[in-house]
């Protein structure tokens, strides 16, 4: 495994498993299986409505809590709720999370951030993150926050490598977690000739080449899957290294194209969208 060192000194694994759009019934065995097969980073969120099942999967794995880097996200409707962090920890059956994000940049994000800062001081949160924040709002948050964010989580893949954002992150020693790391499963992206060529060279799949590109670019990846074989394959990217020339070739596929845009209307909907945990 390779690691990104946060400004707190903590080491975050560069690859793990995501739980987005996976039901509680499937998440519990997926998390358990992933941990038993060596995965040590788990990403979930209030909005995924599977935190309780994620917590059960962790317990069932038998892996010591201190060996796991656990990530979750607060949803906008609980940003101002004083008990939001404690309720999340109860669902996850843990005394702390290693990284907690604000999930969306809604108008009440400052209230949520203050809540996380308080939890950070109390030891319930070991690092603070911002998810889906545009560059201008991220810089505002960095300037405003008492405890500067340690990680951002955004859409990132070879078609949209977040070149400008990464300049900001580099200035502050902040990490990047890449969601939709293979472009939402876009076959055009996955089957770009450069990935097919490199897959043949290294005896890997196109997806494994893309995930390896992420890691060498400094991005933490956490592709979601409930299939044990896919989980193992997604994690099997640390026995080879792309050359500088190959990384340059991959850079040429950048189209500055994203698959998701948070419009003002969508953010307004998020601010009132109530969630119900799928137990």
Please classify residue 229 by burial: count the beta carbons closer than 10 Å to its beta carbon, then call 0-12 exposed, 13-18 middle and 19+ buried. Answer: exposed
User: Residue 196 burial by CB count (10 A; 0-12/13-18/19+): exposed, middle or buried?
Assistant: middle
Rounded-to-integer distance, Cα 157 and Cα 213, Å: 9
What is the torsional sign of CA 25, 26, 31, 36? positive
DSSP symbol at 130: E
Catalytic position from the list 48, 79, 120, 159 = 48
**Residue 120 a catalytic site member:** no
Question: In 10 A of CB 191, how many CB atoms?
Answer: 10
Look at residue 106 and give its three-state secondary structure.
coil
Catalytic positions, please? 48
């Amino acid at each position: 495994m390779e690691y990104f060192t946060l400004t707190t000194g903590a080491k975050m694994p560069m690859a793990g498993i995501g739980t987005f759009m996976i039901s509680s019934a499937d998440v519990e065995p997926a998390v358990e299986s992933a941990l038993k097969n060596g995965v040590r980073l788990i990403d979930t969120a209030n909005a995924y409505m599977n935190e309780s099942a994620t917590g059960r999967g962790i317990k069932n794995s038998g892996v010591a809590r201190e060996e796991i880097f656990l990530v979750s996200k607060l949803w906008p409707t609980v940003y101002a709720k004083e008990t939001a962090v404690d309720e999340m920890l109860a669902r996850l059956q843990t005394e702390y999370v290693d990284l907690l994000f604000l999930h969306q940049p809604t108008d009440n994000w400052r209230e949520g951030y203050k809540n996380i800062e308080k939890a950070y001081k109390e030891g319930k949160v070991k690092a603070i993150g911002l998810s889906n924040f545009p560059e201008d709002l991220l810089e505002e948050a960095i300037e405003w926050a008492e405890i500067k964010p340690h990680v951002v989580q955004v859409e990132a893949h070879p078609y949209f490598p977040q070149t400008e954002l990464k300049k900001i992150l580099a200035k502050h020693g902040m990490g990047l977690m890449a969601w939709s790391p293979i472009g939402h499963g876009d076959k055009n992206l996955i089957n770009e000739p450069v990935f097919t060529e490199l897959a043949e060279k290294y005896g890997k799949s196109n997806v494994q080449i893309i995930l390896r590109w992420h890691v060498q670019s400094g991005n933490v990846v956490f592709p979601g899957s409930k299939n044990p074989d896919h989980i193992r394959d997604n994690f099997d990217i640390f026995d080879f290294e792309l050359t500088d020339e190959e990384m340059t070739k991959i850079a040429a596929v950048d189209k500055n194209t994203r698959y998701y845009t948070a419009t003002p209307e969508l953010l307004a909907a998020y601010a009132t969208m109530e969630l119900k945990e799928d137990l």
